[in-house]
Structure 1
Amino acid sequence: MRRIGDGYCGLRLDEGVRIRPDAYTFTILIKALCHAGKSEEAFEMFRRMKEMGVKPDKMTYATFVAGMCSCGELNLGYAVLEETVREGVILSAIDYNMVIDGLCKENRLQEAEMLLQKMARQDVTLDSYGYSYLIRRYCEVGNLVKALDLYEEMASKGIQTSPLIVSYVLQCFRKLGLASEALLYFQKFRESGLSLDKVLYNIGIDAHCKLGNMKEALNLLQEMRDKGFAPDKIHYTCLINGYCLKGEIVNAQKVFEDMLQTNVEPDLVTYNVLASGFCKYGFVDEAFDLLDFMVDRGIEPNALTYGLAIDGFCRGGKLSEAEILFNILVERGIDQSEVLFSAMVCGYLHLGCTAHAYMLFLRFAAQGRLVDEISCSKLIGGLCKDGNVEGASNVFNTMLEKNVIPDTISYSKIIMAYCKSGDMQNARAWFEDLVRRGVSIDVILYTTLINGYCKANRLQEACDLFVEMTKIGIKPDVVAYTVLLDGHLKETLKQGWLGIAKDRRKIEFKVKHSKLLNSMKDMKIEPDVVCYTVLIDGQCKTEYIKDARKLLDEMLEKGLTPDAYTYTALISGYCSQGEIAKAEKLLEEMVDRGIEPDMLTFSVLDRGILRAREMQR
């Protein structure tokens, strides 16, 4: 005999041993080794068992599968489970569920689903646990559609659900910000006769609060009380948050006081929610009193508490109060100062004070520090919007120096800003930087750069980039095609200014547009209203007025509604050819279809009429 792990004994299977171990003996040894975390030795024991001609029975297989899963050797457990199928040994749902759970934890969800289906084919009685593991994991990764499909499948098989499984689904709704849908399913589960627990009641109350249904939230809380469940700090915090979202701060304060009277101790989250509400709606004295009250109750406000207070002040338009609190805290030298600076940067941006936000960013950066990624992203957007592309570029470089990679949206904004300013060199440089870092490039980013080249009268580079995009497998969308179609039109007009013969220009324009439209057709991309407007404008400016009218009719046949720009483009075309009667008739048609002409429409028509009169003199 020898020791295995902590107090487990096993048999040495030496060649000289006269007693032949049976399946039960091997099973005990495998279980002991797995319990001691000796997965390799357990596997060796299982292999030795088969070498000695001892056939594993159902108990042995179940023990080995469970042991491997508990030791983190999922693949071995899974492989042996597959072996049982080949050997005709049918294990229980418990054994299958252990492997399904392990596969879900490793995000091998497709394999887990296949195993669930295999259970059904093997006539293994399915229970809620296997479905529970899959539904939970799909909800954790945000794949709500798949989770709901599995839930419906489980229900269709008559498998009883549980409050835990339902909570996974409802929590996923809540995490995705789908409060209305969460409430809809909550009512559905409630009406099905499911026994609700405190967690489910909390989800329902929270959904009502986020939708502003405070009366219904209170009714649900009372129903919970009637069933013998005492509200806890989470329920009270949801109610306080709901009232704060509605701006009913007095009611929020009453819930907080009720919470204290029922001896439910608020936590930091509760204080943060209420403090933020006080600050947002101008209850300045109450906010500072609450912070003092926290300290008296033994809960020290942290940087997040103060950050929420600063954010609340700014959202409520109380910039001076936010600045006073911020300066006091910075002078005090509070820990996690990046939370405070981030909140103040976002506060300035919320109030449109982009320059102040940027100066504060620079002040913090001078200390070798960086505000959080969300604040950086918002600041980049604000600076680009204000035309301060150099400032946005500086924020970018500061982030990269700190090994913080800006998100794709931030890259898009700075590339768009450089394109807008006509600086295609820097726009392309940031684009190439994004590619170099291995960040996924989408059609929107490519289209942004293509549009920049078109506006900068660098059509060939735009076309080259379009080809590059398609070669790496990114499918152009209607916007990308529209940008190029418009680019070719502008190139044709530019050729006219350069003195190139009209007939040659018109032919080249037709050929290029035809090529792009055929490509769209091959890609099964249908023109939208904007695309048709560009096409109509192009035909008008190259004097193909009949073709322009055909395009308008084609739009209408497809059920697309032209807008004021579409009609104005064709009206302008008619006016340019002196066909004023047709232009006026088109204006009437436009009005009859309920489309309001704008100032540009009338201006185009008036100029056309004046030009026609001058021609008649």
Structure 2
Amino acid sequence: MHLTRFKISKTTPVLFPFSRRLVCVSSTQPHKEHHQDPPWQSQDQLHLWVSSVLSHSSLDSSKCSALLPHLSPSQFDQLFFSIGLKANPMTCLNFFYFASNSFKFRFTIHSYCTLILLLIRSKFIPPARLLLIRLIDGNLPVLNLDSEKFHIEIANALFGLTSVVGRFEWTQAFDLLIHVYSTQFRNLGFSCAVDVFYLLARKGTFPSLKTCNFLLSSLVKANEFEKCCEVFRVMSEGACPDVFSFTNVINALCKGGKMENAIELFMKMEKLGISPNVVTYNCIINGLCQNGRLDNAFELKEKMTVKGVQPNLKTYGALINGLIKLNFFDKVNHVLDEMIGSGFNPNVVVFNNLIDGYCKMGNIEGALKIKDVMISKNITPTSVTLYSLMQGFCKSDQIEHAENALEEILSSGLSIHPDNCYSVVHWLCKKFRYHSAFRFTKMMLSRNFRPSDLLLTMLVCGLCKDGKHLEATELWFRLLEKGSPASKVTSNALIHGLCGAGKLPEASRIVKEMLERGLPMDRITYNALILGFCNEGKVEGCFRLREEMTKRGIQPDIYTYNFLLRGLCNVGKLDDAIKLWDEFKASGLISNIHTYGIMMEGYCKANRIEDVENLFNELLSKKMELNSIVYNIIIKAHCQNGNVAAALQLLENMKSKGILPNCATYSSLIHGVCNIGLVEDAKHLIDEMRKEGFVPNVVCYTALIGGYCK
């Protein structure tokens, strides 16, 4: 029988062969020990008593209740083993469950294994399988349980029971054990199944060939290629591998990247007189194609035909995929023609590979033609088809088509991996298509696909920069409704965007929601709000926020103080700003260039030019790295004070330091020279400004006109 047709018997949910519940047998509470004398006087009578209970066609609960309080697990184990085949398997099964549930009786592993063998011998495979699963899963009380070596204990116990049943039943038991560990307990990583196999091999015996092949196949499917090869090596020393055994290992070697070993084993297989089948050839051909060895793959395909093994759909599919990987599209059509001529129509996998190949080489037109052929043959495009096209459209900057492909996938209910959706949304953000990215993100959320925090932050920032604050806020609340709130970073990005746009009520609403739901907030959250309130001139609100953040154990930093200083200076509260700066310095925080710039701007607005100069000189004495902002402020201050010569000297000074003047620099200078009637100098400054790549603004021309008027 072919390995792929082999199925494990299904377990039965019925544990007891009764037509109604045994109210008199089961009990919710364990029976208390009876102190009456046992109803037997000798060991022989005990043997007869136990034998009568287990050999009867149905379970006698009264006899069980009289027996169990006077019986130890090891004593029962000896009696059960001696009774052996005389026992009724289903009565024994019911006895075990009755004793376990009603008396918390802890049977030995040996007793459980004896029962499993009896059930197998009587063809009760489903109950035997279920009992074994419950035993391994820890749902049955066991005497002296060693959980780490439990599978070895079970295997040793079964191995020691060869005298109870025949060789066939005994092999069936080990087949069942390996099957259960390979299917029901795959989470253990097949280590238990392999351990049982090795234990048998060390004892000079093996499971059935069918089970050996099943184990090999399971290991390949789990990508346990090394284990598969090792099991095959051990198996080859004592068993006779067949074509399925060799094929599984060849597949493992190919998938594990060991092509030379796979070819060597393939040749050895032929020398042993085991003829490879189409699956064997396909494994080698696919491996060769994956490694770019197309010439060898086509040679092997010719060889299999000569040997009387006809290529199938998978053979042609592997060859086509190999050609696509190397961009040999001119040869693909020849293989397709041969494939169709052999009676095989391309399936969805072949079409998807073709479309993906064309898209990767940027030939979208060719990919769309293949899609049309696919539809004409009544093969419906899948999410894989559309995703390949979507990637192709992205690569060729055909944004509208990419959006349509993604919308078709999401709206049609096709299954697609979330990561594939995220990559397109990320691409849309990079192309500034924030509205489309937002729309698709909503569709993803409706499918319970949650984009990464990084992508959500990117989208929120983009929406805010694009003026789509309503959509950004909607996205934030949609995440909240889904029970998967936005991260602190994403929330901060939204609050910053709202505050930057002067939308303080919306920002406050977000913060209120975060506070009510206990969502995390940090210094960045408060700083964004403080900046927003400062920009709106709501200085009192700024200080309330500072007080609130301090109460929450979040200490203000240099950015907090800079925002507060800016807010005070902007509304003309310079004295309050000076006091705050003193508080700031007393707290141990060190002023940065931005702090000095804010205070210099404040002094400049108050026409306290001497204080501006003092701060600038303080910067120089501290050897702080200057920027265009502080230069512009002091140049403006000197111009306001009529000291244009000092301002022009500062212009040369900033240039010598590699700090380029900007439009604000020239505007102040033009205004200053015009105020003292030096109109020609103003014109020279405008020319210089143009040479630097700046376009004079209305302030410059207004100042120049004013100069002429004087």
TM-score of the pair, normalised by structure 1:
0.55
Task: Give the equivalent residue in structure 2 for 1:518.
Answer: 515
Task: Give the equivalent residue in structure 2 for 1:287.
Answer: 297
- Confirm or deny: 8 A CA contact 1:418 1:424 kept in the other structure: yes
Structure 1: tracts of 5 or more residues without a match: 1-68, 101-114, 140-144, 552-570, 581-604
1:223 corresponds to 2:258: no
Q: Give secondary structure in 1 for the equivalent of 2:26.
A: helix
Q: Give secondary structure in 1 for the equivalent of 2:556.
A: helix
Task: Give the equivalent residue in structure 2 for 1:577.
Answer: 595
TM-aligned CA deviation for residue 123 of structure 1: 3.7
Match of 2:268 among 258, 272, 278: 258
What is the CA–CA distance in structure 2 between the aligned matches of 1:314 and 1:117, rounded to whole Å? 65
Identical aligned residues as a percent = 16
Q: Give secondary structure in 2 for the equivalent of 1:160.
A: helix
Match of 2:494 among 471, 487, 498: 487
Match of 2:484 among 455, 475, 493: 475
Aligned CA distance change for structure 1 residues 340 and 405 (closer, same or farther; 3 Å): same
- Confirm or deny: 8 A CA contact 1:380 1:392 kept in the other structure: yes
Could you give the per-residue CA deviations for residues 186-212 of structure 1, whole angstroms, max 9, x where no partner exists? 469847979764646875798699989
TM-aligned CA deviation for residue 288 of structure 1: 2.0
TM-aligned CA deviation for residue 278 of structure 1: 1.9
TM-aligned CA deviation for residue 160 of structure 1: 1.5
Aligned CA distance change for structure 1 residues 212 and 339 (closer, same or farther; 3 Å): closer
TM-aligned CA deviation for residue 276 of structure 1: 0.9
- Confirm or deny: 8 A CA contact 2:390 2:405 kept in the other structure: yes
For 1:53-452, list aligned pairs within 5 A.
Answer: 80=21, 84-85=25-26, 94=90, 119=101, 123=105, 125=107, 127=112, 132-133=129-130, 160-161=154-155, 162=174, 164-170=176-182, 181-182=189-190, 186=194, 190=198, 197=207, 199=211, 203=215, 220-226=231-237, 228-245=238-255, 247-315=257-325, 320-322=330-332, 324-326=334-336, 328-329=338-339, 334-348=344-358, 356-365=366-375, 367-381=377-391, 383-384=393-394, 387-395=397-405, 404=414, 406=416, 439-442=447-450, 447=456
Aligned CA distance change for structure 1 residues 296 and 388 (closer, same or farther; 3 Å): same
Could you give the per-residue CA deviations for residues 106-138 of structure 1, whole angstroms, max 9, x where no partner exists? xxxxxxxxx999748564858366795488799
Q: Which amino acid is 2:284 matched to?
A: L
Task: Give the equivalent residue in structure 2 for 1:565.
Answer: none
Aligned CA distance change for structure 1 residues 343 and 85 (closer, same or farther; 3 Å): same
Aligned CA distance change for structure 1 residues 167 and 291 (closer, same or farther; 3 Å): same
Q: Which moved more, 1:482-491 or 1:237-246?
A: 237-246
Aligned CA distance change for structure 1 residues 513 and 381 (closer, same or farther; 3 Å): same
Could you give the per-residue CA deviations for residues 203-256 of structure 1, whole angstroms, max 9, x where no partner exists? 579869998986x87665443222x21223343224323443455434322211
What is the CA–CA distance in structure 2 between the aligned matches of 1:295 and 1:257, rounded to whole Å? 17
Aligned CA distance change for structure 1 residues 288 and 429 (closer, same or farther; 3 Å): same
1:547 corresponds to 2:556: yes
Q: Which amino acid is 1:490 matched to?
A: G
What is the CA–CA distance in structure 1 between the aligned matches of 2:149 and 2:625, rounded to whole Å? 69
TM-aligned CA deviation for residue 417 of structure 1: 5.5
Q: Which amino acid is 1:160 matched to?
A: I
What is the CA–CA distance in structure 2 between the aligned matches of 1:457 and 1:272, rounded to whole Å? 57
What is the CA–CA distance in structure 1 between the aligned matches of 2:383 and 2:306, rounded to whole Å? 34
Q: Which amino acid is 2:485 matched to?
A: P
What is the CA–CA distance in structure 1 between the aligned matches of 2:308 and 2:492, rounded to whole Å? 67
TM-aligned CA deviation for residue 166 of structure 1: 4.2
TM-score of the pair, normalised by structure 2:
0.49
RMSD: 5.8
Q: Which amino acid is 1:476 matched to?
A: P
- Confirm or deny: 8 A CA contact 2:499 2:528 kept in the other structure: no
Q: Which amino acid is 1:470 matched to?
A: L
What is the CA–CA distance in structure 2 between the aligned matches of 1:224 and 1:508, rounded to whole Å? 71
What is the CA–CA distance in structure 1 between the aligned matches of 2:392 and 2:275, rounded to whole Å? 41
TM-aligned CA deviation for residue 270 of structure 1: 1.7
| Number of residue pairs matched by the alignment | 455
Q: Which amino acid is 2:177 matched to?
A: I
What is the CA–CA distance in structure 2 between the aligned matches of 1:117 and 1:431, rounded to whole Å? 58
TM-aligned CA deviation for residue 330 of structure 1: 5.6
Could you give the per-residue CA deviations for residues 430-487 of structure 1, whole angstroms, max 9, x where no partner exists? 5676688xx4454759958767754543333433443344345x23252xx4223202
- Confirm or deny: 8 A CA contact 1:186 1:204 kept in the other structure: no
TM-aligned CA deviation for residue 489 of structure 1: 0.4
Structure 2: tracts of 5 or more residues without a match: 1-10, 32-59, 65-87, 117-126, 156-173, 535-541, 547-554, 561-588, 599-622, 635-649, 651-710
Q: Which moved more, 1:260-269 or 1:416-425?
A: 416-425
What is the CA–CA distance in structure 2 between the aligned matches of 1:191 and 1:165, rounded to whole Å? 12
Aligned CA distance change for structure 1 residues 389 and 169 (closer, same or farther; 3 Å): farther
Task: Select the structure of larger CA radius of gyration.
Answer: 2
TM-aligned CA deviation for residue 275 of structure 1: 0.8
Could you give the per-residue CA deviations for residues 374-430 of structure 1, whole angstroms, max 9, x where no partner exists? 344444455456654433454457668988555655555556665665656655665
What is the CA–CA distance in structure 2 between the aligned matches of 1:185 and 1:534, rounded to whole Å? 54
TM-aligned CA deviation for residue 344 of structure 1: 1.7
- Confirm or deny: 8 A CA contact 1:311 1:346 kept in the other structure: no
Q: Which amino acid is 2:154 matched to?
A: Q
